[in-house]
Copies of this chain bind each other. A is one copy, B any other.
Amino acid sequence: MDGQGLIIPLWADLIAVGLGGVQGALFASGFRGEDRRLDLLGVAIIGIVMGMGGGLIRDLLLNVPAATLQSNWYLLTATGAALIGMLLAGLFQRLNAAIVGLDAVVIGLFGAFGTTKALTLGLPVVPAIFVGVCSAVGGGILRDMIMGLPVAIMHVGSLYAVAALVGCAVLAGAQSAGAPSLAASLIAIVVTAVIRLLAVVFDISLPEQRALHRRKVAVETSAIPIIKP
């Protein structure tokens, strides 16, 4: 019923969840909205959402029992990591590179775990890659929706979801070509992290769709008053 146990050892899963929890806490501690500040519980929730959200979405899409709810350790790890991340936020935020690097590795881990689990459960290649990408970026989407922020991956940015997409596709391709599961996962994690980091360093992004319409971009962005959606 749940093929993950065969493939992803608990400690690897918990490392991903813990890194996600730290990520969430760093995000939360950097957040200052209009009079909407987070309390301790809010930070813990963001940590849980970032650490466990991707896995929950993966298991909902796969219609299997949520792996992260089958053991006490996931919630304890995510919450503990969020609290540690919060206490050390001052330190981490001086190390911006550390956050970006951590984030890139987390996307890679969740993407690889998601795609592997989907393939193990017998999904075709395209939806397996889709499940992997949803695992990788789902925590961030949930976080933004709960926080009432624009969902980051929807807007012109730094190839965030694309990095996950390429990594998951590489994993699926490598497995189809007969590569062992562990090697395929490691390659996928490295590919995702490298693309994400290169995108940040060189500030690369996808072309905006409207450029394809040959709209008068310059006019639109300067002369026409901004209309709220």
What is the interface of chain A, defined by CB distance below 8 A to chain B? Answer: 28-29, 31-43, 45-46, 56, 59-66, 68-72, 74-76, 86-87, 89-90, 118, 123-127, 130-131, 141, 145-151, 153-157, 161-162, 205-210, 212-213, 220, 226-229
CB distance from A169 to the nearest CB of B (A): 12
Q: Which of B63, B151, B161, B212 contacts A86 (CB 8 A)?
A: B212
Excluding A61-B69, A148-B149, A148-B151, 17 further A-B contacts by CB distance (< 8 Å) are A28-B209, A29-B213, A34-B226, A37-B155, A38-B155, A39-B209, A41-B162, A41-B206, A43-B209, A46-B154, A59-B63, A62-B69, A71-B124, A86-B212, A147-B150, A148-B148, A149-B229
Pairs of residues from A and B, 10 with the lowest C-beta to C-beta distance, nearest first:
A69-B127, A72-B126, A39-B206, A33-B229, A63-B65, A42-B154, A43-B209, A72-B124, A148-B150, A40-B206
Check A146–B145 contact: CB distance below 8 A.
yes
Stoichiometry (number of copies): 3
Q: Which of B64, B89, B149 contacts A63 (CB 8 A)?
A: B64
In angstroms, Cα B88 to Cα A70, docked, is 44
In angstroms, Cα B32 to Cα A71, docked, is 43
In angstroms, Cα B214 to Cα A122, docked, is 51
User: In the complex where A31-B229, A126-B76 touch, is A146 in contact with B155 (Cβ < 8 A)?
Assistant: no
In angstroms, Cα B125 to Cα A130, docked, is 32
Chain B hits for A213, CB < 8 A: 29, 89-90
* Most chain B CB inside 10 Å of its own CB: which residue of A42, A66, A207: A42
Chain B hits for A157, CB < 8 A: 39
Chain B hits for A155, CB < 8 A: 36-39, 42
Interface CB pairs A-B, < 8 A, 6: A37-B210, A38-B155, A45-B154, A70-B124, A70-B127, A148-B149
Chain B hits for A59, CB < 8 A: 63
User: In the complex where A39-B155, A229-B147 touch, is A61 in contact with B56 (Cβ < 8 A)?
Assistant: yes
Check A154–B147 contact: CB distance below 8 A.
yes
